[in-house]
């Protein structure tokens, strides 16, 4: 592959109420990430972990009270990712909960070129502080990245949206909050639900979805492991039944690798506390490799 990968760990668990996803970067590294990437032909540079505020030192109420700490953490994520992009590397961010995408997508878009986002998730992450039933920040990053929500989130790094609605594709959606659903319907974001995937098949949907972004010079892939069915990936922060099978997820990632220029990846919501013998971390590595071009033949 001869691609240079910069691995950036983001042990952030402040965006949700369930503990454990802060151990996701360690779980993925322990599962042999470096070795697997090297076997693919990639040059590896592990840039270590971003410094994250310790949750137990913050106010106990969580939710929106953690916004300043999440913003601070994502500013550091952005800085590390932007350095990697400037160095010509592909940043590979290991989460952590999905609020890290506030920094990862901003870093992907730092070149000034139009940047596409493929958001693979059971959830829309399109809430704002006004629409979220829980107030958990990991349900808000995509709204903020497209310019919706609290200014502290939308104006992180630079004012306004980091990516245009029409340059975002959501795939695997099956759990939306009521007001979040309406916001997505009113947007120009392309949404492919599991119902549509069941009806049309993952191959057809993947080609159509990814084809929407094939004209763009670079694409960021945001892979939430709860997009997979919990039978495949039990160790996730917010599991939802009815997700991708093992082969469906691989076909999607292989289609992405075949169709667009993947400039950066984040993989999020791995919770080793809930996992079985680190299965979810191993699967995450397999899917990242497929997204970087690994194929059966």
- Catalytic positions are 98, 121, 123, 125, 138, 224, 226, 269
Surface-to-core class of residue 59, CB atoms within 10 Å of its CB (0-12 exposed, 13-18 middle, 19+ buried): exposed
Torsion angle in degrees (nearest 10) through CA of 70, 53, 272, 255: 40
What sign does the CA torsion over 95, 97, 278, 1 have? negative
Residue 146: count of CB within 10 angstroms of its CB = 25
The token pair that represents 197 in the structure block: 């995937």
Q: Where are the alpha helices (DSSP H) in the chain?
A: 24-30, 33-39, 67-86, 101-108, 141-145, 151-154, 178-186, 194-200, 202-211, 246-259, 279-291
**Segment holding 193, helix H or strand E:** strand 190-193
What sign does the CA torsion over 125, 128, 130, 136 have? positive
Helix orientation angle between 202-211 and 246-259, rounded to the nearest 10 degrees: 30
Query: Residue 67 in contact with residue 137, Cβ under 8 Å?
Result: yes
- Alpha-carbon distance of 7 to 112, in angstroms, equals 22
Distance from the Cα of residue 88 to its chain's centroid: 21
Surface-to-core class of residue 24, CB atoms within 10 Å of its CB (0-12 exposed, 13-18 middle, 19+ buried): buried
């Amino acid at each position: 592959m001869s691609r240079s990968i910069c691995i950036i760990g983001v042990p952030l668990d402040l965006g949700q109420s369930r503990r454990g996803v802060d151990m996701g970067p360690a779980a993925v590294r322990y599962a042999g990430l470096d070795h697997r990437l090297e076997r693919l032909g990639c040059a590896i540079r592990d840039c270590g972990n971003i410094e994250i505020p310790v949750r137990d030192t913050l106010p106990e109420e969580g939710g929106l009270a953690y916004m300043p700490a999440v913003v601070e953490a994502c500013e550091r994520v952005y800085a590390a990712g932007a350095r990697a992009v400037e160095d010509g590397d592909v940043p590979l961010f290991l989460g952590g909960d999905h609020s890290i995408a506030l920094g990862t997508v901003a870093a992907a878009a730092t070149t000034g070129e139009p940047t596409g986002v493929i958001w693979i998730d059971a959830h829309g992450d399109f809430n704002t502080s006004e629409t979220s039933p829980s107030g958990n920040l990991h349900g808000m990053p995509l709204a903020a990245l497209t310019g919706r929500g609290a200014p502290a989130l939308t104006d992180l790094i630079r004012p306004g949206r980091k990516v245009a609605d029409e340059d975002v594709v959501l795939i695997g959606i099956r759990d939306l909050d009521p007001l979040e659903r309406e916001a997505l319907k009113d947007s120009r974001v392309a949404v492919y639900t599991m119902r549509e995937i069941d009806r049309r098949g993952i191959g057809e949907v993947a080609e159509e979805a990814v084809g929407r972004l094939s004209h763009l010079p670079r694409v960021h892939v945001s892979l939430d492991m709860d997009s997979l069915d919990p039978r495949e990936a039990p160790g996730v922060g917010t599991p939802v039944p009815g997700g991708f099978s093992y082969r469906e997820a691989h076909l999607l990632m292989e289609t992405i690798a075949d169709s667009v220029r993947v400039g950066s990846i984040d993989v999020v919501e791995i919770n080793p506390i809930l996992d079985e013998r680190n299965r979810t971390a191993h699967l995450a590595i397999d899917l990242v490799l497929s997204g970087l071009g690994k194929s059966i033949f």
